[in-house]
């Protein structure tokens, strides 16, 4: 029996969860609701899908309390303002996003509740400076927007993009969540829907530890004239690429970052 009083199984009810797709922009919208109270939140609604989402909320007999944005998007228009007009929901977005008519300006550590559930706001800037990740501890889920995509990261070449900052956000905030946490991205362009912290740590080519970096980088800084065995670090003391880059004064994390707007 689960000992965690916040756990859905322990409480005898469950979170209602729907992952919705806008095929035109490959954008995911997420609906979360408390089965008992019927309170719901919608993350990253898309204007073109407004009628679909309103219909779903009505069919499931849910009360939309908040719309949440993971960031100010560059590839689609949000439905949040229209949902507020139609359903009375509150528009919540990061304070750093600079949205003029938001009802709730979110900051790191803030909590948005729906029924007995809570979403904690983690500041994860880098794709934009107002990017946040929403973490639902009770359900073991996090919604990363474009900070972390499945096997990739969001672009950093516009909207205050900062590759080094994004690298730190992912490694220090998202990767600090428990290994089994389910990660739901803002987009996927290849039909994938969900990943985990453990899976991305192992397989994300933008963030994984390059196999030979501890040997190759020191050797190449001497034009390859140092024998590999002289530069290899003892097993168990490998350091992340970000530390090595910082140590060498390099800010060019860009090659590690990939698709996603
Ligand atoms: Fe984006």
Average pLDDT of the segment spanning 173-190: 97
Residue-level pLDDT at 12 = 47
Q: What is the whole-number distance in angstroms between the Cα of residue 107 and the centre of ligand 1?
A: 19
Give the distance (Å) from ligand 1 centre to CA of residue 218.
35
Q: Please check the confidence at residue 258 and state whether its pLDDT lies above 70.
A: no
Kind and range of the H or E element at 94?
strand 90-94
Q: 3 alpha carbon to ligand 1 midpoint, in Å? A: 38
Alpha-carbon gap, residue 226 to 68, rounded angstroms: 53
- Domains, the chain, ordered by start: 8-203 (3.60.15.10), 213-256 (no CATH)
Ligand 1 centroid–CA 159 distance in Å is 9
Q: How far is the CA of 73 from the centre of ligand 1 (A)?
A: 5
pLDDT, greater one: 259 or 129: 129
List the structure tokens of 86. 């139609």
Identify the bridge partners of residue 197 per DSSP, sorted by sequence position.
Answer: none
User: For position 252, what pLDDT does the model report?
Assistant: 45
Q: What are phi and psi of 231, to 5 degrees?
A: -105, -15
Label the pairing between strands 27-34 and 39-43. antiparallel
Query: What is the average pLDDT value for the chain, to the nearest integer?
Result: 87
Please answer whether residues 68 and 93 qualify as being in contact, where contact means their C-beta atoms are separated by less than 8 angstroms: yes
Taking only the tens place, the pLDDT of each residue in 51-93 is: 999 999 999 999 999 999 999 999 999 999 999 999 999 999 9
Q: How far is the CA of 24 from the centre of ligand 1 (A)?
A: 15
DSSP-derived secondary structure letter, 170? I
Å from CA of 254 to ligand 1 middle: 16
Mean pLDDT on 183-201: 97
The whole-angstrom separation of Cα 36 and Cα 209 is 44
Judge if pTM exceeds 0.85.
no
Reported as a single tens digit per residue, the pLDDT across 126-165 is 999 999 999 999 999 999 999 999 999 999 998 889 999 9
Residues whose CB falls within 8 Å of the CB of residue 178, separated by 6 or more in sequence, listed in order: 140, 197
Q: How far apart (Å, rounded) are the C-alpha atoms in residues 23 and 135? A: 25
Predicted pLDDT of residue 104: 97
Percent of the chain at pLDDT exceeding 90: 72
How many angstroms does the Cα of residue 187 sit away from the middle of ligand 1? Answer: 9
């Amino acid at each position: 029996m689960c000992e965690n009083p916040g756990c859905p199984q322990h409480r005898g009810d469950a979170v209602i969860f729907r992952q919705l797709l806008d095929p035109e922009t490959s954008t995911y919208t997420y609906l979360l609701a408390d089965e008992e109270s019927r309170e719901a939140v919608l993350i990253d609604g898309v204007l073109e899908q407004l009628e679909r989402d309103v219909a779903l909320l009505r069919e499931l007999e849910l009360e939309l309390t908040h719309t949440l944005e993971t960031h100010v998007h560059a590839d689609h228009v949000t439905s949040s303002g229209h949902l507020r007009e139609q359903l009375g929901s509150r528009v919540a977005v990061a304070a750093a996003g600079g949205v003029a008519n938001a009802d709730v300006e979110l900051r790191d550590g803030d909590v948005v509740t729906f029924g007995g559930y809570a979403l904690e706001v983690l500041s994860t800037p880098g794709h934009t400076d107002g990017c946040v990740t929403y973490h639902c501890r009770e359900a073991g889920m996090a919604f990363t927007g474009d900070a972390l995509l499945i096997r990739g990261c969001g672009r950093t070449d516009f909207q205050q993009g900062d590759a080094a900052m994004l690298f730190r956000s992912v490694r220090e905030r998202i990767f600090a969540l428990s290994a089994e946490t389910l990660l739901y991205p803002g987009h996927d362009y290849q039909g994938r829907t969900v990943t985990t912290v453990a899976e991305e740590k192992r397989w994300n080519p933008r963030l994984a530890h390059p196999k030979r970096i501890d040997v190759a980088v020191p050797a190449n800084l001497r034009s390859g004239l140092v024998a590999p065995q002289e530069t290899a670090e003892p097993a168990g003391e490998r350091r992340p690429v970000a530390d090595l880059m910082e140590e060498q004064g390099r800010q060019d994390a860009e090659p590690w970052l990939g698709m996603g707007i």
